[in-house]
Chain A
Amino acid sequence: MRAYKPKDDVQAKSYYTDRYYVSPQVPKQTPESDEVFNADLEAIKSKFDVSDAYIQVEQLVIFINASDIYGVLEFMRDELEYTQLSEMSAIDWLAKDNTFEIFYQMLSMNKRKRIRVKYFIDNGQAVDSVEKLFRSADWSEREMFDMFGIEANGHPFMKRILMPYDWHGYPLLKTYPLEGDEFAAWYEVDKIFGKEARDVIGPELRDTAKVDRYDSERFARLGHEVPKGTKITGNEPKSDQNYQEDGGVFLIKKFDKKDSVVIDDPQR
């Protein structure tokens, strides 16, 4: 078995840090380099605050104030022909500066352009729902709430969408362990059998590399099967795999491996 390493904060800290490493960035262009984007950006700037804007991978990225989001998306939909909200979600920057970055990916089929609208919120702050503008935001905002715990003000049905309603914790946070916390580890046992069943059923087996050939409670070694719970010595004789009992089965034709014919003609 592998040596046990404490996994309390394994997700919280980066597993590899190179102090000389600079993460590569896709080159950015100024919005002026694309005339369609430049016109859109000027139109948005005339009504709302835009703190930063650049073009990256042929998409315009703009940063706005959190309180402007409904107005910006409404303006973009009605005036600038960005009629689709392809996707929206959040990015966890809690470790860096205790903020979430919220992004909205907008698509214009007429202009064949995409704009990403972004803003930052503090931890615990709620966002304004855009569900009244785009129906696709309905489930996206519920998913954002489910995965990050960010609530959307004005959403008609702000409940979890993927995880069960009685779930604790927000799985897409960087601090959430991949294999689940204490609540997740015992969720199905607690819910179905009750907490007192934990001792009977036992903890989850999470070591995927674990192979125990002397364990006859879970799996028997193929070809050396023994009844469940038998003490395995390792010297079990190889047993032949039979579909039927040796004496044959009542009213059923005996299937004998030796009598079976292997058809090797591919054109049969």
Chain B
Amino acid sequence: MAQHKVNYTQNGGLPVALTSIDKIVNWGRSNSIWALTYGLACCGIEMMASGASRYDFDRFGTIFRASPRQADVMIVAGTLTKKHAEFIKRLYDQMTEPRWVISMGSCANTGGMFNTYATVQGVDRIIPVDLYLPGCAPRPETLQYGVMLLQKKIRANEASRAQKAKRLM
């Protein structure tokens, strides 16, 4: 005798849940956002703290991957220098579609306090950004909130449509 309770009046009496392909695909996508580790500066420390046991990204299904081929979201955490700009573009191009980018902290958003010759004034000059997190550095709670907003954004999209390739130009 099954111990769990089955509501036989729902779904035509079957212990199943009906849904659409979109929803089930998006459910899978939004709950297994693997992040490419991209700690460039002090924001990287907060990103690591978000992944560690106190804040625990694993419960969102977010696991840090050191390979762009296995990552869904790139969390740009820190100052992007002009020397490094070509590499962030190359790594972004190596990520498989669908892919997302979180720009974490003031430096990645706008260049921050580094109003100098050697700093890229915002990563959105190089790669398309989905989410900007303010702060210097943002707390791990902010990054968690950002990931949850990204999940919401993924769920809002149609999964079945051919993904429009994200390009700056």
Chain A residues within CB distance 8 Å of chain B: 163-164, 171, 176-181, 184, 187-189, 191-193, 197, 200-201, 204-206, 208, 218-219, 242-245, 249-252
Contact = CB atoms under 8 A, between A and B. Distances in A.
Contacts, number: 78
A172 B87 CA distance: 25
B168 A191 contact: no
A178 B120 contact: no
A193 B132 CA distance: 23
15 contacts: A171-B117, A178-B115, A187-B82, A188-B82, A188-B85, A188-B120, A188-B126, A200-B168, A201-B168, A204-B125, A208-B115, A218-B124, A243-B149, A243-B152, A249-B27
Contacts of B110: 205
Task: Report the contact-size class of chain B (Cβ under 8 Å from the partner).
Answer: 20 to 34
Contact of A188 (B86, B113, B115): B86
A192 B117 contact: no
Contacts of B109: 219
Given A219-B132, A245-B152, A251-B27, A191 B115 contact: no
B83 interface: yes
B66 interface: no
A250 B23 contact: yes
B115 A206 contact: yes
A205 B152 contact: no
Residue of B116, B122, B124, B156 with most chain A CB atoms under a 10 A cut-off? B116
Contacts of A184: 82, 117-118
Interface in B122-154: 122, 124-126, 132, 145, 148-149, 152
B10 interface: no
